[in-house]
Amino acid sequence: MTALDEYRAQARKWIEANLERRGAGDAGALRPWDAGDDSVEYFAAQRALQRRLYEAGYAGITWPKEYGGQGLSQEYERAFNQEARRFVLPNLGVAGGATLGVCAPTMLAHASPAFLERHIPKILAGDEIVAQFFSDPDAGSDLAGVRTQAVRDGDRWILNGSKIWSSGAYYADYGMCLARTNWDVPKHRGLTWFLVPTDARGVTVERIRQINGNSEFCQEFFSDVELTDDDVIGGVNDGWTVTQTMLLYERGAGATRGEGGRPGTGGLRRDVVDLIAAVDGADDARVRDLAARIHVDDLARAALNRRLVALMAGDPKRAMNLASYYKLSAGMYDPIRAELLMQIGGRAAIAWDDPSTPGAAAALALLNGRFLAIAGGTAQMQRNAIGERVLGLPREPSFDSTKPFRDVVRDATNWSGRVS
């Protein structure tokens, strides 16, 4: 028996003794709009489960030992995941996903050893959930344009401003926050990352009511929040270096969220079939054509994802740029798909007596359809990335990359269209 086999057998024994089996209908995957129970109490129970995983040595399997991980190779993590796939794992929601998938890996790459010793073991134990305090209300896709600022005051930092689109911040313990620390240099060179406790004096977290009725996104307001050098992640004013690592994890996670290897064949997707049945449209030539259009696009997207996975494997250096195709296809085709569903649904998709009907699902898909066209870099950002980094087209002129950020804001508010 190899060490890996032995590990697998041990893991199986622990999983069977400690975790619940999944129900038949439980997909396990969590998307922003189908969180299910999103109460703080629910997540408290999930944190307890995460702690048991941590204490048994199954949290952070590939993470460094000195910070509470197991320091094992990827194949051990794969083995554990395979053994656990029919069991209920802790669900820390989207903020938990961001903590383990984006924030903590970025910290591991840039934060000081003392910082990592303080936080990473608690993150793995479910004691610290870190939300993403990335976008400002004034800066989303243009992340380097954030105006939330931290000002040095003796050995403290004073944080003021606001963050938005932080998923699950209402149950998080911290936010990983990008702030401007120097206005007199070009925008990319005056940024610093901080870890901000959500219960610090001067921090207010508000849940945002979204167009689909859920309230998973939050906005935070910072009023003279006191931080210290211990809270800094990476170098002061070197925040853009850290950001690039963060974006790698953020986009990497996005790229692998696609259907990956599955061809998507074997018939229309369930939501389309159910909607056709609901409107009794199987013999209606118009409905048949609309449904086939959806299926053609679904198959083309699945085929694109398989092609991208293969292209990325063959050329890892181009992988990040090619991932923009995945994001653009979702941003372009999710709204089209939703509109085609609405056309099939007709009036069954504009009013219903039961929100579980296919018509209501079509309406929800319409409201959520532009999610990936906007979140995490708009479709226009993907088009720029594809145009310049994949197709090699010449760059846009830049108005903000060389002059002090203070002047950028001033000039943009007095825009003449003339560039000196």
Partner 1 sequence: MTVDLLPAPTDEQAMLVDASVRFMEAEHPLTTVRRVADGADYDDAAYRKTAAELGWFGLLADEAQGGGSMSGNGVLDAALIAAERGARLQPGPFVGHSAVVHALATAGGRDEVLAEVVGGTAWATWVDGSCELRGTGDDRRLTGSTPAVADAAACTWLLVEVHGAQVLVHADAPGLTVRTLEGLDVTRRWSTLEFADVRVTTGDVIECSSADLSSLAAVLVAAESVGAMQADFDVALQYAKDRIAFGRPIGSFQAIKHLLADTSLWLEMAKGLVAAAATSLGSGAPDGAELAHAAKSFVAERGVELAQNCFQVFGGIGYTWEHDQHFWFRRLASDAECFGSAAAHREQLFELVGTGR
Site for partner 1, rule CB under 8 A:
263, 265-270, 272-273, 276, 282, 285, 288-289, 291-293, 295-297, 299-301, 303-308, 310-311, 314, 325, 328-329, 332, 380, 382-384, 386-388, 390-397
Residue 265 CB-half CA count within 13 A: 4
DSSP symbols for 363-399: HHHHHHTTHHHHTTS-HHHHHHHIIIIIS-PPPPP-S
48, 94, 142, 180 from 168: Cα distances, Å? 18, 6, 22, 24
Residues 203 and 255 sit within 8 Å (Cβ to Cβ): no
Nearest-Å Rg of the Cα atoms of the chain is 23
Q: How far is the CB of 289 from partner 1 (least distance, A)?
A: 6
Q: How far is the CB of 391 from partner 1 (least distance, A)?
A: 6
| C-alpha to C-alpha distance for 159 and 227, rounded to whole angstroms | 7
Residue 413 CB-half CA count within 13 A: 6
Q: How far is the CB of 417 from partner 1 (least distance, A)?
A: 12
Instruction: Give 247: exposed, middle or buried? Use CB within 10 Å, 0-12, 13-18, 19+.
Output: middle
Residue 97 or 264 with smaller CB distance to partner 1: 264
How many CB atoms are located within 10 Å of the residue 42 CB?
Answer: 15
Torsion angles phi and psi, residue 370, rounded to 5: -90, 10
Residue 360 or 385 with smaller CB distance to partner 1: 385
Residues 92 and 43 sit within 8 Å (Cβ to Cβ): yes
Which of 52, 120, 121, 57 shows the shortest CA–CA distance to 89?
52
Q: How far is the CB of 329 from partner 1 (least distance, A)?
A: 6
Q: How far is the CB of 163 from partner 1 (least distance, A)?
A: 28
3-18 and 74-84 helices, crossing angle to 10°: 40
Q: How far is the CB of 379 from partner 1 (least distance, A)?
A: 9
73-82 long-range CB contacts below 8 Å, 24 or more apart?
Answer: 75/4, 76/4, 76/7, 79/4, 79/7, 79/8, 79/11, 80/7, 80/8, 80/11, 82/8
Residue 130 or 308 with smaller CB distance to partner 1: 308
Q: How far is the CB of 179 from partner 1 (least distance, A)?
A: 29
Q: How far is the CB of 267 from partner 1 (least distance, A)?
A: 4
Residue 196 or 330 with smaller CB distance to partner 1: 330
| C-alpha to C-alpha distance for 379 and 366, rounded to whole angstroms | 17
Residues 370 and 335 sit within 8 Å (Cβ to Cβ): yes
Residue 156 or 295 with smaller CB distance to partner 1: 295
Residue 211 or 296 with smaller CB distance to partner 1: 296
Residue 213 or 261 with smaller CB distance to partner 1: 261
Residue 92 or 309 with smaller CB distance to partner 1: 309
Q: How far is the CB of 27 from partner 1 (least distance, A)?
A: 15
Q: How far is the CB of 387 from partner 1 (least distance, A)?
A: 4
Residue 7 or 333 with smaller CB distance to partner 1: 333
- Residues whose CB is less than 8 angstroms from the CB of residue 323 and which lie 6 or more positions away in sequence, other chains included: 251, 252, 254, 255, 308, 312
Residue 9 or 277 with smaller CB distance to partner 1: 277
